[in-house]
Amino acid sequence: MSSDPAAEGWQHFDDPALPKVMLGHWHRREGDGFAYGFETGEGQANGNGMIHGGILATYMDHTIGRVAREAAGGRVATIQLDLHYLAAGRPGQFIEARAFVVRRTRSVIFLRGELTAEGKPILSASGIWKILGQP
């Protein structure tokens, strides 16, 4: 990926639902859904100089939650989120997030997601979201 997400078809957007340390949000349409991405920097690094696992977990939970909300047509809440850290993210990398619905019932939605950096998986996730109803 180039250093300019816009050159790759990404569109910048503000996301007030995420902590201020997570600035630089992007999205682009892919098929029937969206891919999400965020810029990283030194302010998100842990003591080892890598992107803090909590930052990655927050973004994955938020991204899967967006997909669950769209599938439910209303509000949702995370019931369970299982994360598998596969590789380190580094400050300066553009991290991409994708998620999809595995199964939906009347009251819950099962989803999976993945974070990648430079085309390589760094985190995989699966979880369950409770359907709460209309906003």
Which DSSP helix (H) or strand (E) runs through 100? Answer: strand 94-104
Domain span including residue 25: 5-133
Q: What is the pTM of this model?
A: 0.90
CATH of the domain at 23: 3.10.129.10
Quote the number of domains for the chain. Answer: 1
Rg of the Cα atoms in the chain: 15
pLDDT digits (tens, 9 = 90+) for 59-110: 999 999 999 999 999 999 999 999 999 999 999 999 999 999 999 999 999 9
Q: Which of 43-47, 80-84, 120-124, 131-135 has the lowest mean pLDDT?
A: 131-135
